[in-house]
Amino acid sequence: MSIYLDNAATSFPKPESVYQAVDHAMRQVGTSPGRGGHRRSLEAARIMFKAREAIAGLFSIPDSSRIIFTHNATGALNLALHGTLLPGDHVITTSMEHNSLLRPLRALGKSAVEVTVVPAGGDGLVDPDDIRKNLKRNTRMVAVGHMSNVCGAVQPIDRIAALCHEADAIFLVDAAQSAGSINIDVLSTGIDMLAAPGHKGLLGPPGTGFLYVAPHVTVKPILEGGTGTDSTSEEQPLTMPDGFEAGTHNLPGIAGLKAGIDFIRERGMDALFQHELNLLDEVMFQLRSIRGLTFYGPEEGQRGGVLSFTISGIDASLLAAELDQRFDIAVRAGLHCAPQAHRTLGTFPDGTLRLSPGWANTSEEIAFFSDAVVQCVKSLRETF
């Protein structure tokens, strides 16, 4: 039995419709939108438009032209940060963030952008009052990951959004772990910029992602080049979304992303999310008797489909390797590109073992995984 429990990194397998959409775009379309007036290029443009509309529908975005396709959430976050912030601006973020957010902020900090990192609690949750206390006159943005990729903590983004609006600050949400799992309504929540990858919870292929930019937010392109529009000008156009999508699009990936979103809407996002939570509850129940085991993150109701744990005396990376080699079980161990989060949880520098089930996992697989963990722990303790 081969078991994949690393969906927080990349969801696998994809729904069959995703593979079919990618194959159709590769074999039957084979080109990009805006690169010609022939029928294949026009079909590519239709695929792009339908994908934008699918994203808009999922996140309650009223104007799909405000959705910029990127190659991943990292690209979306870099565009949101480097395309918006100026020297003298102040940004607030949290200690639970992924390096995809923290590293560009650190780079901007060297260019006279002031960055404040608000510490989360030991359960990974951020108190909005701590963000309020750090607001300044020059606070231009608050940038927060919706759900932790380490412990699954889901931040209260509605309360944080309200603080941002009171302070006239842009609210940027990194939805890398929550998009496709937790319902996000950009209008009712008050999200000004939303960054997400396509290859995780949205069930699309790698090399896809997007950034939503609200109409009142001004952003500048950070990549110049061919757009297929306004070709007479040597200056980069600022029109949405063309001016922010220089170069050839990943059309097969975007076609697959649209199919992934369609699958989510057909199955029901809430049902898919509850399935993941139920599987994690089974894991916690079945592993509860292991001596020295600690689960990390908040209580039920404040966490998503990611679970991290450590076992005293057992190296998490070694345990993950044993699960892979002996049982063909894929999990992830270490710092998960989020060292600040592990410092917050008290698991730095060794990190944790993380599992993240997906739509295709079953209770039988969870039982097999749990039994494998017990066997590996017993073997490792006898060896070391």
Helix axes 73-82, 99-109, angle to 10 degrees: 30
The DSSP-derived string for 185-232 is -HHHHT-SEEEEESSSTT---SS-EEEEE-TT-----S--S--SS-TT
Strands 67-70 and 209-213: antiparallel
Residue tagged 């923290």 (tokens): 102
**In degrees, to the nearest 5, what angle opens at C-alpha 93 toward C-alphas 90 and 95?**
140
Is residue 376 flagged as an active site residue?
A: no
In the three-class reduction of DSSP (H, G, I as helix; E, B as strand; rest coil), residue 121 is classed as coil
151, 164, 337, 376: which is the annotated catalytic residue? Answer: 337
CB 185 within 8 A of CB 60: yes
Classify the C-alpha dihedral 213-206-222-235 as positive or negative: negative
DSSP assignment letter at 336 = T
Residue positions annotated with a catalytic role? 337
